[in-house]
Structure 1
Amino acid sequence: MRRVSKITAASIATAALAFTATACGESSTESSGSDGTLKIGMAYDVGGRGDNSFNDSAARGLDKAKAEFKAETKELTAKNGETPADRESRLASLAEGGYNPVIAVGFAYKDAVDKVAAKYPKVNFGLVDSLAEAKNVDNIVFTEEQGSYLAGVAAALKSKDGQIGFIGGVDLPLIKKFAAGFEQGVLETNPKAKVQIQYLSTGSDLSGFGSPDKGKAAAKGMLDKGIDVIYAAAGGSGAGAIEAVAGQKGAWAIGVDSDQAKDPALSKYANSILTSVVKNVDTGVYDLAKSVKDGKPLTGTHTYSLAENGVSLTTTGDHLTDIQAKIDEAKKKIVDGTIKVKTTT
């Protein structure tokens, strides 16, 4: 039996109602498989494979499962401007095509998963970052606030004067978890520090997750105010923030979801990337695929927490070496419950 989380889905579900993206122009890649081959369908959120962040983490899990199980895969990607029905159609097309499991990446798929999973009770679905109610769904969620708290500790210890910034893609409950944990980590490490929080877009405007120019402009504005550590939880927009920080001597960027210092598109900025808060979506995707392959599909809700390495800080570049002991101390306190990390600011 897998551990069932007691997290409340209400706030995330509310945000999901407003979150939309487009079916037209969706991209797909497909590989041929013989009869009896595991077929995995993946529905990415806006940005898709190649976003250097959240979707790419899911893609790594798919790639691992494909290689290990010689699986057949199909990948579809949401675009800005679609209707909720387009998300349902995307998932239904994968289920109709015999793909099992069908994995939806991003809380925006919550309502679509509920509807489509009910229509295809023999298909196993995965939902990343939200909680669906259907019995044939594996809800894959993470304690983003815990990893962000550790990033806050690192930011507070590395900032010269405690002027720190957070850039969120969209002001939605999920992204606010990142902001809450980060701010708490900063202030509990340095009570005199100040954290400026800025969101790139609001409500149903998803441009905040896919506009590097907006991320760059927001970071530039913070740098001009003397902020010297900036954490961007903004999907593809975060690349712009990292670029801006790299142009400011003595400033640090904190990446998200993937080890962004190792990303080919961002590696030239690696010396300015203090760390990245990794959310191991790939582990959740792989675990579900393996469970279906083994004939024991995972269902219910599993929370990938700091305690089980569901979230973590990267150490690429060894920029944390001088403060690692304090980060480890904070991690231990979170894991043993001494530190309770907030999920709202």
Structure 2
Amino acid sequence: MSVLPAPAAAPFPAPRTQPRFRDTVEDWMRQFQDWLCAELEATDGSGRFREDAWQHHGGGGGRSRVLTEGTIIEKGGVNFSGVTGQMSEAAARVLLMPDPNYFATGVSVVQHPRSPWVPISHMNVRYFEAGNGEAWFGGGLDLTPIYVDETQARWFHEQIAQVCEQHHPDYYPRFKQWADEYFFIPHRQETRGVGGIFFDRLIVGKEADAGSLFAFVRAVAEVYGRTYCALMRHNAARPYSAAQKQWQLVRRGRYAEFNLAIDRGTRFGLETGGRTESILMSLPPQCEWHYNQPPAPGSEEAATQQWLRPGIDWLGQTVAPTAEPAAGG
């Protein structure tokens, strides 16, 4: 299915070989941040990222870049970090670290668009080294439409599946299921959106060699940039009502609940003394909570809530929502 054309884009950055593998990965993460910011700015048309460089108390630092008041993006962030440090023993246990000493580098992205027709998006790619020498990659991307468009959700998953299959035949089904389980809000009994893929602790030497895992992570980052820019272009000009904007604010509230109560990246940043403003960059600029206000039966909002469940086969021949909408509140 090819419902959306891939946008014209600048060449994707290739890694530059450094003396140490971790230096090569960290250098590429910086290059990717530059590339993605340029692509998002070009797609938005008027918005520009502002950079806030910071230092980590244990060593290294990062560059937080935030775009606000763009034509399409109301608030978006593309954050890079490359840090070293030592966790407390308690934090290391909580985060399942094999050694409290660590090196971590990555890029974390969240975009909150103005229009309720343009989905919220998230992507992150990361690399860790523990003090005992164990190293692994992690990451993922997912889409949170305010109104689920089945055709676009299918297309989004098709783009991801094509990338995964180029690296391992099991990656898409395995990491898609992981995303369904991870991007789930248990106290709401609903998924955050239409999912994507999620993977963690792809250990170098166990899952695959370092070069193969690094190539996969780079491909995941690239497909995010190209597919999300296409979705921005495709949906941004569609008109919307005040009621549809208000529904966006309610759904943004669910997004905030996940990031504050469940997200491991938020917890890792806070546990390791990261920069608070950068960690909470993912939160929307505005959101709302209303007491026991489910969507009206038969409405577009109720139809969207029917899609918010794990286990949907977006690549299958038929996809149908559940018979009854999920409980709202």
| TM-score, length-scaled by structure 1 | 0.28
Larger helix percent = 1
Q: Which structure is richer in relative contact order (CA contacts within 8 A, separation 6 or more)?
A: 1
